[in-house]
Amino acid sequence: MGTLLQQIANGIVLGATIGLIALGYTMVYGIIQLINFAHGEVFMVGAFGGLAVWRFVLPDSWRAYWYVALPLMILGGMIVTVVIAVLMERFAYRPLRNAPRLAPLITALGVSVALQEAIRIWFPDADAAQPFPRVFVDKQITLGPVEISASGLLLIVVSIVLSILLQAYISNSRMGRAMRATSQDHDTARLMGVNPDRVIVLTFVIGAALAGVAGVLYGSYITNVDNLIGFQNGIFAFTAAVLGGIGSLRGAVIGSFIIGLIKTLGGQYLPGGAQYDYVWIFVVLILVLVFRPQGLFGEAERVRA
């Protein structure tokens, strides 16, 4: 029982990380029907942005105070990811907005590879695991048979709080209404005074900022990063978004926790162990898509006669 509870806790921490990335996938798809496969690399760049702040910006005297160092690292990671997302939208995706869907999809894959190579050049040893400081309290919190680090607990809390705030923002704010209108019909939204280009840029900015936060907190939790964490976690996040119903914020978050639990519990208890945990994730995804193609919380597509 102790092992089961520990793996559930590990799955929740992984799900919290995936959730912040999956929100970016589902928001961009909801607005412009684009699968932004470069979003996982945005998460990776955010982690390295926070690491760069630690290495090159923070004075030694500030590093001892997590409440100074961690916010500055998160801010650095967010700035880098937001700048990249804005450039990516403006120069890679906007010119292809009216092109056949295959063109922006291939472009997204190209941007993904370009970001990996950019980090490889910026951090020449990024292929190997880079030590990442555990800025938050380096302490194990014991809850019965379960141990979870303070960094992991922080990751869970931040993920849930940001998800709730994002849902409230989209549901209640003026720009949130503009985002919902744009997702339904760009042309009609424009006639109603909404600027779709501004809405799309904001969507990329919000998704990138969440990925930047996730990258720094994830690095602090696992204490090392490399240029492949974006691909690995991006696959999980995309799968979670599809599982929950791509375009649904609630579905992205719940799907992320489901994926996190499948990975940890499947690696512990199912045949093949950790070597086959990816297999069980995609088995569950295929079953959901066979019996509920729109995902767990997605709406069935309406086909008009």
pLDDT tens by residue, 64-102: 888 899 999 999 999 999 999 999 999 999 999 888 888
Structural domain containing residue 130: 35-237
C-alpha 220: how far from its chain's center?
A: 16
In a domain, 259, yes or no: no
In a domain, 65, yes or no: yes
In a domain, 136, yes or no: yes
In a domain, 151, yes or no: yes
In a domain, 180, yes or no: yes
**Domain count along the chain:** 1
Q: Span 39-66, mean pLDDT? A: 93
pLDDT tens column, 128-148:
888 999 887 677 888 778 888
pLDDT band with cut points at 50, 70 and 90 for residue 303 = very low
In a domain, 103, yes or no: yes
